[in-house]
Each structure stands twice: as C-alpha cells, then as structure tokens.
Amino acid sequence: MSEQMETTLGKSLDQVDKIRRWQIVGAAIFVLLFLVQAGSVIATLHRVGAMVSDAERRMLRADVFFMAYTVGFCTLGVCIFISRMTSKILKAIELSSKP
C-alpha cells in the first residue's frame, strides 16, 4: 500500500471514529430530551386536573411516548445504516489497495 493510500485510509478511519462518538452523544441527548418531554406531559396532565378524563390522559401519554420512540428508532436506524455502509466502503478500499 502506498504512503498516500495509508494516509487516506487512516483519515477515513479517524472520521468513522469521530462519527461514532457523535452518534453516542446524539443518543444521550435523545434520552435526555425524551425525559424532559415525558416530564412536561406529566406536568401538563397534573395542571389540567379534572378537565381531562382518564382515557384522554392515557391516550395523550401513549401518543407522546409513541412519537418520541418512533423518531428515536428511525434516527437510530439511519445511523446504523450509515455506519455499516462506511465500514463496507473502507473494507473495499483496503482490499483494493492490496497487491
């Protein structure tokens, strides 16, 4: 492998590591925001008191949690897809550079 290809591969691997760190940070932020959102829903339901029936309360909680989980899992799916494709491309580069 030439020196230029090794340098390029090293930079690519460093970028992959950086992206994975950002994904972990993003997951932590998602969990934090989900907890804030859940707390907000609970506080709102306590504030409205008797104006809302129990069925409406359960429906609101379920809708909010379902929405948050859907966004989170879709984001996770995209991140996993990008990571998998990046590793495949880097393996192809490595294999093509071998004599």
Number of helices followed by number of strands (H, E) in the chain: 2, 0
Which tokens in the block code for residue 52? 């809302």
**pLDDT tens digits for range 25-57:** 888 888 888 888 778 877 877 777 777 788 887
Identify the CA nearest to 13 among candidates 96, 79, 86, 95.
86
The overall pTM is greater than 0.95: no
Which tokens in the block code for residue 38? 């859940």
Query: What per-residue confidence (pLDDT) applies to 1?
Result: 58
**C-alpha to C-alpha distance for 44 and 60, rounded to whole angstroms:** 10
**C-alpha to C-alpha distance for 4 and 50, rounded to whole angstroms:** 70
Tell me the pLDDT of the chain averaged across its residues.
Answer: 79
Query: What per-residue confidence (pLDDT) applies to 15?
Result: 78
